[in-house]
Structure 1
Amino acid sequence: MTFMAPVQTTPSASPKPGLRERKKTQTRQAIRRAAYRLFAEQGYDATPVDRIAEAADVSSSTVFRYFPTKEDIVITDEYDQLMEEAFRARPAEEPPLEALWNAIMDTLRQFYASEREEIDTRIRLTREVPAIRARMNESMTETGRMVIGVLSERTGRPTDDLELRVFVGAVLGALQEVMLHWGEQELTDDLVGVVDRTLALLARGLTL
């Protein structure tokens, strides 16, 4: 099929979150900020969760309620939810890769514009800490289930369809390699541009 380059679109506005959701977001952000500050000061392995809780002015149980493991403080974000909303909003006639490409790029531009420093920190930690890389693999599996679910609805294929799983695995595997490569390059390239080029590579295939 002929694959058209993704069109930059403005994501439809999501309903404004209620007070409870805003408070939960503020708590998550406070925990992350405290954790990143402590990781920078004393190292990831030397920073226990109870110290993060104290710095964020919450209890350790609150930290674990929002982040089941210490690695999740680095890995967990709101990106998947935003991407799922953007993916579901794509026109039904768009080919699967084009729709997913647009959803990923729309969400990444939005997220990176407001969270660049945090994203840089997270990718650096993922590169440096084996436990975080391992948890990232588990997180990618959860993301894959979400993407497969949306594609199943769009295509009518069952969620255990092999082609669907291979397609999603290829896209998410490519994105994971982008993050690791970008971290190895000391975050010098434009992340949004690198992701866009990577998805374009999947669309056209490797040329010699």
Structure 2
Amino acid sequence: MSSPPRTEQQSGLRARKKAKTRRAIQDHAMRLFGEQGYDSTTIEQIAEAAEVSPSTFFRYFPTKEDVVIQDDYDPMLAAAFLAQPASLHPLTAMRGALKEVFELAFEQDRATIVQRIRLIWSIPSLRSRQMEGQVATVTMLTAAIAERTGRSVDDFEVRVFAGAVTGAWISAIQRWIESDCQESLLDLLDEVMDFLQKGMPI
């Protein structure tokens, strides 16, 4: 097999370097937040710890809040959802995708996930920014559901489906926080998805 063109190799190298820098910034930010508190940590301190300039920080994260809020789970979830067997109902496929993505995420980064979610729920500016992010999540889910079902992204029912799923996830995370992260988030996510799938009997 011939080697990929040099431009493809360079592109892959650049992407890996950017991902490494992005992760380094987030890792140092979370460490500093844990050591001295979110409000007492400056962007300049994070940049210095990650050995980048403040302008580089802003190329990766538009705001200080985004260094906590942003993660890679939405595209991973969309890919896992679309990869589920075509015969499955969309909610069943979503449950399978959630299990696949978050089992892996918790295996690799449980402590960081717990720290991020606790920060988000305890700091008003982060909660506000997170709610903005939920709109992007609904948009992402709408596109994935439309692709899987062959319906339009403008289909109102597709949007409602995506909104209901996202709202259910928020409820699961809130319950998890209220339990001081002692309950299983994976079990709570599956429980709310099961409730949706049963037609939300009240």
TM over 0.5: yes
Query: What is the SS of the residue equivalent to 1:189?
Result: coil
Tell whether the 8 Å contact from 1:123 to 1:180 is kept in structure 2 after alignment: no
Tell whether the 8 Å contact from 1:83 to 1:107 is kept in structure 2 after alignment: yes
Q: Once superposed, which parts of structure 1, at least 4 consecutive aligned residues long, lie more than 4 Å away?
A: none
Equivalent position of 1:189 in the other structure: 183
Choose from 124, 144, 149 the match for 1:130: 124
1:21-78 Cα deviation digits (max 9, x unpaired): 3222221221112111211222212212111111111111111111111111111111
1:122-177 Cα deviation digits (max 9, x unpaired): 11101111111111111111111111112112222221212111111111011112
1:58 and 2:56 matched: no
Q: Distance in 2 between matches of 1:150 and 1:186?
A: 32
- The unaligned stretches of length 5 or more in structure 1 are 1-16
1:102 and 2:96 matched: yes
Give the deviation of 1:206 after TM superposition.
4.1
1:81 and 2:81 matched: no
1:85-114 Cα deviation digits (max 9, x unpaired): 111212222211111221122111111111
Q: Which amino acid aligns with 1:149?
A: A
Equivalent position of 2:19 in the other structure: 25
1:139 and 2:133 matched: yes
Q: Distance in 1 between matches of 2:59 and 2:159?
A: 31
Query: What is the SS of the residue equivalent to 1:18?
Result: helix
1:39 and 2:21 matched: no
Choose from 118, 122, 130 the match for 2:112: 118
Aligned CA RMSD, in angstroms, stands at 1.6
- The unaligned stretches of length 5 or more in structure 2 are 1-10
Give the deviation of 1:207 after TM superposition.
4.4
Aligned length: 192
Query: What is the SS of the residue equivalent to 2:65?
Result: helix
Q: Distance in 2 between matches of 1:43 and 1:184?
A: 21
- How does the TM-score come out when normalised to structure 2? 0.88
Equivalent position of 2:153 in the other structure: 159
Q: Distance in 2 between matches of 1:137 and 1:175?
A: 12
Equivalent position of 1:14 in the other structure: none
Give the deviation of 1:199 after TM superposition.
1.1
Equivalent position of 2:7 in the other structure: none
Larger relative helix fraction: 2
Give the deviation of 1:119 after TM superposition.
0.3
Q: Which amino acid aligns with 1:179?
A: I
Identity %: 45
Q: Distance in 2 between matches of 1:81 and 1:162?
A: 22
